[in-house]
Amino acid sequence: MRVAAISDLHGLTTRFSLVGKLFDEGIDTLLIAGDISAAGRPEAQQANVRTNFSALLRGRKGIRIFAIPGNDDWTIVERSLKEFPEVVVPTGRAFPLDARFSILGYPYVSITPFMMKDYEKWDTPEEPALPASSEDL
C-alpha cells in the first residue's frame, strides 16, 4: 500500500491535477484532511466536488480516497463525496486501511473567526463529539 496525505485543496483544479500525478506515480490510497471544496454556497461546493472528483477519478482503477471535510466545507461536500464509490468519509466508525491499520476521521473544528460552517462547533460538554449517526450528515 502506498499512501499520501494532503489537505487544503480548496477546490482548485491545479491542486487536484497534482493529486492526479500522485496516483500516476503509484500511490493507491489518498487521505484528504479537510478544506476540500472551493469557498462558496453549498450548491457551488457540491458542483465543485462533483467536477473535481469526476476528473480526478476518470480512468483510474484500484485507488481509494479517505476524505474528511474541513471548516471551509459545508455538509453537502460530505454527501457529494459519498457519491463516488472510491471515496470513503471515515466518520462515525473506523474503516480499515489494511490488515493492521484503520482510520477514523473527526471533521469538527473549534469556532473560527470566519463565517460559521457545518463542521464548526463549540468545544463544550453539551456539544456531542459526533452526530448520533453518520447518516445524519
Average pLDDT over residues 56-80: 93
pLDDT of residue 105: 85
What's phi and psi for 14, nearest 5 deg?
A: -65, -40
CA 86 to chain centre: 12
Give percent of the chain above pLDDT 70.
86
105 Cβ contact partners less than 8 Å away, ≥ 6 residues apart: 66, 68, 89, 90, 91
Task: Indicate the SS3 state at residue 17.
Answer: helix
Average pLDDT over residues 126-136: 54
- Cell numbers that stand for 10 in this block: 480548496
Separation between Cα atoms, residue 37 and residue 81, nearest integer Å: 10
Taking a C-beta distance cutoff of 8 angstroms, is the pair 34, 71 a contact?
yes
List pLDDT tens digits, range 93-122: 889 999 999 998 877 777 777 766 777 766
Alpha carbon distance, N-terminus to C-terminus of the chain: 30
List pLDDT tens digits, range 2-11: 999 999 999 9
Q: Which pLDDT band holds residue 134 (cuts at 50, 70, 90)?
A: very low
With 0.85 as the threshold, say if the pTM is over it: no
Cβ neighbours, 10 Å, residue 46: 18
For residues 130 and 38, the model is more confident at: 38
Name which of 48-52, 76-80, 90-94 the model is least confident about: 90-94
Taking a C-beta distance cutoff of 8 angstroms, is the pair 56, 16 a contact?
yes
User: In this structure, is the dihedral angle defined by the CA atoms of residues 109, 83, 137 and 114, taken in order, positive or negative?
Assistant: positive
List pLDDT tens digits, range 28-39: 999 999 899 998
pLDDT of residue 93: 86
